[in-house]
Amino acid sequence: MLVQIGSTANRRRLPEFLRKPQSDYRAVTELKRELRGKYLHTVCESARCPNLHECFSRRAATFMILGNLCTRGCTFCSVPKGDPKKKPFGLDAQEPANVARQAAEMALRYVVITSVNRDELPDGGSGHWAETVLAVRQALPEAQIETLTPDFNGDTSAVERVLAAGPHVFNHNMETIARLYRRVRPQADYNQSLAVLRYAKTSHPAILTKSGLMVGLGEKHEEVKQLLRDLRRDGLTDIATIGQYLQPTRRNRAVARFVEPAEYEEWKAFGRSIGFRAVFAGPFVRSSYMADLVAHEAGC
Ligand code: SF4
């Protein structure tokens, strides 16, 4: 059986190198049951990640905190959207403790946490972020923690709150090249996202910084190189990830092209040549895919 990427309507046929066999259904079902039992969400499920079966089978997952409804409308993303003015989202005060408990039960040595955007909260959810990082640290003192955060609308006090909790890796995804921002991340800003990474690197130089982008959204090869250059300016980013965008549902932006595996090799070599400690690139790469191995390659 092959992974089905969302609905089949208006889909382009997947090339052979983007077909992935699914695996251990029992392990996947069991992990989903554990997560639901603690009211937890994962971006793996909400974003319909093509690696879900592989990751869940080896009991790896990326916790998605601050609920399962996002205040933004990025056109690549299938995480459910909502308007908190019409229907408040709420916030599960038990979520930090439950993430920590689940991570401990999974005996994780590397914990990746991400979140939806919660632009309506005065602190953007950064206090909840910090609580979650601290709870995981208390439950698993030996584990390394990667935080894949939103841009907090460029609020550096919110970014600082997450960094002060002491993650080992601070990840903020650029997602796409500058020219496509308005169509792909309409409520975000290219320079603001770079500024978030710059703040992290300059204020906490010992924490590794990481960022990722999707290709196949309409960018050109050279524009990806320019983004990599921007990420490396002043040494602000240590790790880059590049992977193929796959339209998760019919409502999301269509795939512009399927990038051939050889092209990733060129970006990897280029990224290395301009100083990234690690560049993880390939058709199935996602920013949290094999995050532990990538962090170790970068010296974490
Ligand atoms: S690659 Fe990341 S988002 Fe996808 S299933 Fe694995 S851990 Fe989850």
Residue 11: per-residue pLDDT: 60
- Which residues have C-beta within 8 Å of that of residue 87, sequence separation ≥ 6? none
Q: If you measure from the C-alpha of residue 286 to the centroid of ligand 1, how many angstroms do you get, rounded to a whole number?
A: 7
Give me the chain's average pLDDT, please. 94
CATH of 16-297, one of 3.40.50.300, 3.40.640.10, 3.20.20.70, 3.40.50.10890: 3.20.20.70
Residue 4: per-residue pLDDT: 40
Residue 88: per-residue pLDDT: 84
What confidence tens digit (pLDDT) does each residue in 188-220 have? 999 999 999 999 999 999 999 999 999 999 999
User: Among candidates 64, 1, 7, 59, which has minimal Cα distance to 33?
Assistant: 59
Alpha-carbon gap, residue 300 to 285, rounded angstroms: 19
62 CB less than 6 Å from ligand 1? yes
- Which residues have C-beta within 8 Å of that of residue 245, sequence separation ≥ 6? 76, 214, 215, 216, 217, 253, 255
What confidence tens digit (pLDDT) does each residue in 43-53 have? 999 999 999 99
46 CB less than 6 Å from ligand 1? no
Residue 103: per-residue pLDDT: 98
Q: If you measure from the C-alpha of residue 271 to the centroid of ligand 1, how many angstroms do you get, rounded to a whole number?
A: 23
Domain boundaries, the chain: 16-297
Alpha-carbon gap, residue 177 to 162, rounded angstroms: 25
Q: If you measure from the C-alpha of residue 54 to the centroid of ligand 1, how many angstroms do you get, rounded to a whole number?
A: 9
DSSP calls for 41-55: EEHHHHTT-TTHHHH
- Low-confidence stretches of the chain (pLDDT < 70) are 1-11
Residue 28: per-residue pLDDT: 93
2 class by beta-carbon count within 10 Å (0-12 exposed, 13-18 middle, 19+ buried): exposed
The single residue listed with the structure tokens 């996602």 is: 286
